[in-house]
Structure 1
Amino acid sequence: MKKADIFEFYRRLAEANPAPETELEYVNPYTLLVAVALSAQATDVGVNKATRTLFAKVRTPQQMLDLGEEGLKEHIKTIGLFNTKAKNVIAAARILVDKFDGEIPRERGELETLPGVGRKTANVVLNVAFGEPTIAVDTHIFRVGNRTGLARGKTPLEVELKLEKATPAPFITHAHHWLILHGRYTCKARTPECWRCPVADLCAFKPKTPAPKARPSAAPAAH
């Protein structure tokens, strides 16, 4: 995609949604970290349902340790892979208390030392909690980058680095939210809704998906 088209692509997404936010619910950087770690291979809706009662009680790594692994499992048992996730969240809380005085580190490398925290999770926390210009590439962003021609790559890291390079400075802070929401609600995996896409004319995807045909209304019943 050309530079001018990339600027216009983001400009239109920004116009439609000037202040995009994560759909995960959280109360501080620590609860955001937990929510993002729990969201791997799960929906934000499912995670929010499980964490509402959890985050009413637990807002710090020490409180998480006090709750314990079994207590945590009770809250998150509706989320996929909850046993492994509970183990990781407790182990991460222990490291945060022992090594970081209960604070969330603001450096990607340090975040990635926490169990269950990969590059994508670290990028989300840096961006959402601290306003860093990072782009966390999930399945939606990977698809949008490749499908539109905005940033093509064979791996999430390749797409991430290309997006960071291609995204104009005014849009970098919110880029990841615009792209994830675009992928989640418009540029869907199976059938992208090109007919209602605000950036369809800038996108390399072909053939564009036509609007679904309206069902013919039933004939009035004879009396």
Structure 2
Amino acid sequence: MKEESLAQKKDRLKNILARLKQAIPDPRTELAFHNPFELLVATVLSAQTTDLTVNRVTPELFARFPTPAALAEASLSELETILRPTGFFRRKAQHVKELAQALATRYQGVVPETMEELVTLPGVGRKTASVVLFHGFSRPAIFVDTHVGRVSKRLGLTESDDPERVERDLSELIPEKDWGIAASRLLLHGRRVCLARRPLCKTCPCTDLCPAFPTFASGPLRRERGGV
């Protein structure tokens, strides 16, 4: 693909997102939650595990500890037992307890609605904060996880592996009002189609707009197609 101007890249991304809208019309988060507090905790727990696994443990977690104040008083041993299936359960138990304590003492049990405040909470980085801002409060935000980062780089939307740089690059290409919905579609596209090791290019609606497609078409994809 030839070198693009910023305007050309914006136009290409607009076409990509239009196609992903057809493929993923309802790009809501796959984490189950009822309020911003539950979403915040679930997103912290989703590190290095699947949303499905998190969704299996959070009903019991929130049934026992439905508020930040209640979770702040939970014993680490009880939290570790509940969170064991998510992996790294000791660290996660410590994180969610400290997170709940911070919410209870600094924010009167209310999840803050700004990036600046959210990232001061234990275990909360920009990605987690952005997920909560968009899915919990309908605020404009771009969340960059491994899927969004991988898809963005393959599509030639960024040259960086640094999540904050990827976020800045995407923010220059996407209108602010569309940040969250675009990031959601890129994430789910990476999770379902543009896989890390063997991207499913045969089912991707964007191959003609993807600079990385020729690489996969002449490598793993060609082998999967029987050498065609």
With the length of structure 2 as denominator, give the TM-score of the two structures: 0.88
Range moving further from structure 2, 177-186 or 44-53 = 44-53
Question: Which of 93, 109, 117 in structure 2 is aligned with 1:86?
Answer: 93
How far off is 1:83 after superposition?
A: 0.6
Aligned to 1:220: none
What amino acid is the match of 2:122? P
The answer to whether the Cα contact below 8 Å between 2:31 and 2:43 also exists between their aligned partners in 1 is yes
User: What SS does structure 1 have at the residue aligned with 2:79?
Assistant: helix
The answer to whether the Cα contact below 8 Å between 2:118 and 2:129 also exists between their aligned partners in 1 is yes
How far off is 1:106 after superposition?
A: 0.6
Residues 10, 211 of structure 1: alpha-carbon distance in 2 compared, 3 angstrom cutoff: farther
1:140 aligns with 2:147: yes
The answer to whether the Cα contact below 8 Å between 2:36 and 2:136 also exists between their aligned partners in 1 is yes
Q: Where does structure 1 lack aligned partners over 5 or more consecutive residues?
A: 215-223
1:151 aligns with 2:163: no
The answer to whether the Cα contact below 8 Å between 1:195 and 1:211 also exists between their aligned partners in 2 is no
The answer to whether the Cα contact below 8 Å between 2:127 and 2:145 also exists between their aligned partners in 1 is yes
Aligned to 2:224: 212
Aligned to 1:219: none
The answer to whether the Cα contact below 8 Å between 2:72 and 2:104 also exists between their aligned partners in 1 is no
- The 5 A counterparts of 1:128-207 are 128-169=135-176, 171-205=178-212, 206-207=214-215
Residues 16, 170 of structure 1: alpha-carbon distance in 2 compared, 3 angstrom cutoff: farther
With the length of structure 1 as denominator, give the TM-score of the two structures: 0.90
Superposed CA deviations along residues 170-219 of structure 1, whole A, max 9, x for unmatched, are 632311110111001100000111111011111110223348348xxxxx
Superposed CA deviations along residues 143-163 of structure 1, whole A, max 9, x for unmatched, are 101111123313111111111
Question: Which of 42, 65, 70 in structure 2 is aligned with 1:63?
Answer: 70
RMSD: 1.7
Range moving further from structure 2, 144-153 or 31-40 = 144-153
Bigger Rg over Cα: 1
Q: Where does structure 2 lack aligned partners over 5 or more consecutive residues?
A: none
In structure 2, C-alpha distance between the alignment counterparts of 1:51 and 1:174, rounded to whole Å: 25
What amino acid is the match of 1:187? C
How far off is 1:169 after superposition?
A: 4.8
Range moving further from structure 2, 61-70 or 205-214 = 205-214
Identity of paired residues, percent? 41
User: What SS does structure 1 have at the residue aligned with 2:180?
Assistant: coil
The answer to whether the Cα contact below 8 Å between 1:26 and 1:55 also exists between their aligned partners in 2 is no
Aligned to 1:16: 23
User: What SS does structure 2 have at the residue aligned with 1:78?
Assistant: helix
How far off is 1:69 after superposition?
A: 2.1
In structure 1, C-alpha distance between the alignment counterparts of 2:176 and 2:107, rounded to whole Å: 32
